[in-house]
């Protein structure tokens, strides 16, 4: 992927010009000549307070034929979030934006390198410019960098919206079929990160010092605890008949629970950590979901695989899906995980049985509950949440 030293960082939509776009694309699309760029403007879905997502089409010639590429530039001015989320530390905002740039520019190429061996990739595609990203869990990113002087970052990616991907409107819960797709995407992420760790021979936090760590969590401790206690009060107001459950939730220290899991002895992988509905884009054939991509990679952490799964269920699933389809979805995750890991010496995640997965999932559902409450400002406190927490309470983790 191109580096900051090679390509300038646009300060606004006006800087997205043909020569700049050509510089961005030509590493992956050798021989491309961009003749025109049609900037369509901001297409932010979801909250949109961290970055401006600008859609544009690039028109050019490659190998003697006319080509058109539908792209987005995710631009972040580091001053912008501070005017909206003033209670969050400035350093943390900068950290998470730099983390996404590092994730796309450093980790993603290496994750893809273990997805399909180089010789197999060449024999399958027959073309040097088709990296194996199409069926994986995240959008293709052509360029990610930060300008330390102007404090603006950019990520140039394929325009998922133009391909038929969308975020579910009004934060609707995910169906069984949609949950299957997202669980499979998480299995790819977890499996590839485990393979990468095995290949590198050292824990990924040592390889990637930008992964969110204990010090980052400590810096957010006050904010996390305040948001959590505020959410528990909202939960108590919404469900006055759940006094015992509220009392149990009040006793939890979210900071300590997150830290305990992050530093525990269980096997860990790179987790998305924020896989709620606004960060999930789904493609449909009619009413049938056919593909999914995970977006917004500002906060990846080195956590247990079931942390992501607990987050996924508690922040996106209806009570019906949680109670009646959980085992099927976890089985699909486990199958996809083993497929992603492929053949090899039986160790690490290759030894991870479905029964172990189910047991770890039940344990980590405590963190799913905490995350739903921390997201209560945007996720509803509805009867489904109460029923799911009541079920989890039976497991003895609350």
- Euclidean distance between CA atoms 386 and 314, whole angstroms: 11
Number of Cβ within 10 Å of residue 120's Cβ equals: 11
Q: How much is the pTM?
A: 0.92
What are the boundaries of each domain within the chain? 13-163, 165-394
**Mean pLDDT calculated for residue range 378-383:** 90
> Which CATH code, of 3.40.190, 1.25.10, 3.90.1200, 3.40.50, is assigned to 165-394?
3.90.1200
Q: Give the tokens for residue 42.
A: 């901001």
pLDDT band at 122 (very low <50, low <70, confident <90, very high): very low
**Mean pLDDT calculated for residue range 41-54:** 72
Residue 83's φ and ψ, nearest 5 degrees, are -80, -10
Q: What is the pLDDT of residue 121?
A: 37
Nearest to 28 by CA among 107, 111, 109: 109
- Euclidean distance between CA atoms 33 and 19, whole angstroms: 9
- Asked whether the beta carbons of 54 and 32 are under 8 A apart, the reply is no
Mode of pairing for the β-strands spanning 152-158 and 65-77: antiparallel
pLDDT tens-digit profile of 225-268? 999 999 999 999 999 999 999 999 999 999 999 999 999 999 99
Nearest to 70 by CA among 58, 78, 52, 86: 58
């Amino acid at each position: 992927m191109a580096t900051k030293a090679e390509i300038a960082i646009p300060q606004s939509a006006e800087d997205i010009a043909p020569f700049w776009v050509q510089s961005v694309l030509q590493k992956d699309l050798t021989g491309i000549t961009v003749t025109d760029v049609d900037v369509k403007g901001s297409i932010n879905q979801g909250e949109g307070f961290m970055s401006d997502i600008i859609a544009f089409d690039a028109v050019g010639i490659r190998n003697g034929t006319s080509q058109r590429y539908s792209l987005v530039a995710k631009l972040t001015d580091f001053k912008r979030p501070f005017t909206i989320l003033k209670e969050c530390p400035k350093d943390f905002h900068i950290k998470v934006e730099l983390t996404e740039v590092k994730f796309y520019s450093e980790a993603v190429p290496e994750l893809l390198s273990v997805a399909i061996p180089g010789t197999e990739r060449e024999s399958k595609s027959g073309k040097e410019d088709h990296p194996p990203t199409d069926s994986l869990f995240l959008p293709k990113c052509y360029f990610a960098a930060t300008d330390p002087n102007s404090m603006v970052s950019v990520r140039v990616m394929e325009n998922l919206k133009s391909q038929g991907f969308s975020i579910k409107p009004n934060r609707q819960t995910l169906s069984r079929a949609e949950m299957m797709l997202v669980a499979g995407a998480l299995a790819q992420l977890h499996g590839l990160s485990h393979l990468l760790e095995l290949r590198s021979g050292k824990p990924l936090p040592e390889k990637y010092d930008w992964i969110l760590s204990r010090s980052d969590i400590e810096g957010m401790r006050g904010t996390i605890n305040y948001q959590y206690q505020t959410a528990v009060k909202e939960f108590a107001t919404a469900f006055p008949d759940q006094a015992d459950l509220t009392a149990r939730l009040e006793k939890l220290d979210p900071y300590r629970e997150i830290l305990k899991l992050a530093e525990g002895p269980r096997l860990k992988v790179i987790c998305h950590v924020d896989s709620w509905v606004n960060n999930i884009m789904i493609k449909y054939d009619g009413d049938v979901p056919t593909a999914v991509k995970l977006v917004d990679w500002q906060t990846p952490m080195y956590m247990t695989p079931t942390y992501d799964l607990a987050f996924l269920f508690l922040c996106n699933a209806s009570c019906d899906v949680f109670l009646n389809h959980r085992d099927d979805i976890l089985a699909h995750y486990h199958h996809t995980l083993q497929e992603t890991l492929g053949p090899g010496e039986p160790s690490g995640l290759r030894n991870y049985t479905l029964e172990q997965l189910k047991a770890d999932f039940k344990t980590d559902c405590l963190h799913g509950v905490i995350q739903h409450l921390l997201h209560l400002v945007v996720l509803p406190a509805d009867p489904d949440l109460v029923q799911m927490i009541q079920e989890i309470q039976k497991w003895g983790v609350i």
